[in-house]
Structure 1
């Protein structure tokens, strides 16, 4: 079978390669999945560069999530061969992958393959972060990198819950689309003073929570947009730069700055909370209430083009790998 592998860490387009391996065999409790589609997420790009919370064990596969069809099962597995499933693991950019049956999410017929491929990382993070934000209907939530696939999902989710949103962008070409998805206000970080605009928008109150994916100067400025008792949840570092924390603001506005990582949330959350989020995600995707646009798909042989496209600015949808 063909699979994507890297033998050293670095820029994905430089080090990822297609290799041939024997077809893997599922052990007890495991299934073998014939992969249909897998997204390229920022976490995948960071993992290949050794910048993620999970360190690669070289040589390593790449890709953290995907969807496909169960092709073979090990002892103790009752799921049928042919079942469509969403799954996670290291090495989903491959023709076949092994996963434990307890981590699989059966995919309803109403969810297309390209949507099912994105079912876990972004949707679960979005639902969990909006819940963790504590923002209720009519409250203000701010998100950086609003034009990202994740940002668009948060915007749609907040609109459904009656939460008002402020999103930051670096260009204005996606503003109309973001407004149609439900974004209340847009701030261009290249031309607007972020704190001044948020003060105007919120009648001087600031926002209750900021979801930050950028870090660096953007996160530093976004911190100034928090109202008293506000919280910033940092879940990414697209700028590759750490923000500067303003101790005075933290003290006198009683702010909380903390990180968010879905892996840890899944460990901490109760089984009931995980099941509730899973039901909400599947219902939202099955009904079409939340859209997950795809900009382009690539085969394994074009993995260098795929990761280059995924890392390029100005995208409007997710890039998929389709073995």
Structure 2
């Protein structure tokens, strides 16, 4: 079978290789999945560069999630082959992948493959992080990198909950699309003063919560936009830079900064909460209330083109790998 591997740490386009490998066999509590499609997420790129919360054991597969058909069952698995499932693993960019049965989510017919491929990482993170933000109806939430696939999901979820949103961008070509999704206000940080604009938009009060995916100076400036008692939730570091924070600001505005990692959140909450989130996410996708556009799809042989495309600025949709 064809699969994507890397045997050294580095930029995805530099280290990823399409190779032939023996068909994997599922162990106890595992299944083999014939992969239909898998997205390229920022976490995938970070993992390949050894900048993620889990570290690759070289040589390693790549790709954390996808959709496929259950092809073979390991010992102790009580399900049938032929089911279409969303799955998580290390090595989803492959013709076949091994996944633990606990990571599987049966996909209803109403959700097409391109949506099902993205069912876990972005939708679960967006749903959980908006809950953690705890912004009341009518309150203000700000998100950096608003034009990302994740940002678009947060915008749509906040609109459904009556939460006002401010999104930061570095170019204006997606502004109309973001407004159509429900973004209340957009700020181009390349041409506008972020803190001054947020103060103007919120009548001087600031925002209750900032969701930051960028780090560096963007996170530093975003902290200044919080209202007294506000919270910044950091879930990414696209700039690969650490922010600098004013200690006085933290003290006298009683601000909170915390990280969010979906893997830890899934371990932290009880099984009923996980099931509720899964049911809500599936319902939103199946009914079309949440949109997750796909910009392009590539084969395994085109993996270098695929990861290059995924790194481009100004993308309007997700990049998929389709074995």
TM over 0.5: yes
Supply the distance in 1 between the matched residues of 2:28 and 2:129 (Cα, whole angstroms).
34
What is the correspondence of 1:97-112 to structure 2 with a 5 Å cutoff?
Answer: 97-112=97-112
Correspondence for 2:40: 40
Supply the distance in 1 between the matched residues of 2:76 and 2:215 (Cα, whole angstroms).
45
Note the alpha carbon deviations across 1:35-70, whole angstroms, 9 max, x for none.
000000000001001111110000000000001000
Correspondence for 2:66: 66
Supply the distance in 1 between the matched residues of 2:102 and 2:214 (Cα, whole angstroms).
33
- Give the TM-score normalised by structure 2: 0.99
Deviation at 1:76, TM superposition (A): 2.0
Correspondence for 1:196: 196
What is the correspondence of 1:184-223 to structure 2 with a 5 Å cutoff?
Answer: 184-223=184-223
Deviation at 1:78, TM superposition (A): 2.2
Correspondence for 1:181: 181
Deviation at 1:75, TM superposition (A): 2.2
Which sections of structure 1, spanning at least 5 residues, go unmatched?
Answer: none
Deviation at 1:164, TM superposition (A): 0.5
Deviation at 1:29, TM superposition (A): 1.5
Deviation at 1:94, TM superposition (A): 0.2
Aligned-CA RMSD value: 0.6
What is the correspondence of 1:39-188 to structure 2 with a 5 Å cutoff?
Answer: 39-188=39-188
Deviation at 1:79, TM superposition (A): 1.5
Correspondence for 1:298: 298
Supply the distance in 1 between the matched residues of 2:84 and 2:310 (Cα, whole angstroms).
25
Supply the distance in 1 between the matched residues of 2:8 and 2:290 (Cα, whole angstroms).
37
The size of the alignment, in residue pairs, is 323
Deviation at 1:225, TM superposition (A): 0.3
Q: Does 1:6 align with 2:6?
A: yes
Between 176-185 and 190-199, report the one with greater CA deviation. Answer: 190-199
Moved >4 Å (runs of 4+) = none
Supply the distance in 1 between the matched residues of 2:108 and 2:198 (Cα, whole angstroms).
41
What is the correspondence of 1:170-319 to structure 2 with a 5 Å cutoff?
Answer: 170-319=170-319
Structure 2 counterpart SS, 1:254:
coil
Deviation at 1:257, TM superposition (A): 0.6
Structure 1 counterpart SS, 2:87:
strand
Which sections of structure 2, spanning at least 5 residues, go unmatched?
Answer: none
Supply the distance in 2 between the matched residues of 1:211 and 1:182 (Cα, whole angstroms).
16
- Give the TM-score normalised by structure 1: 0.99
Structure 2 counterpart SS, 1:314:
coil
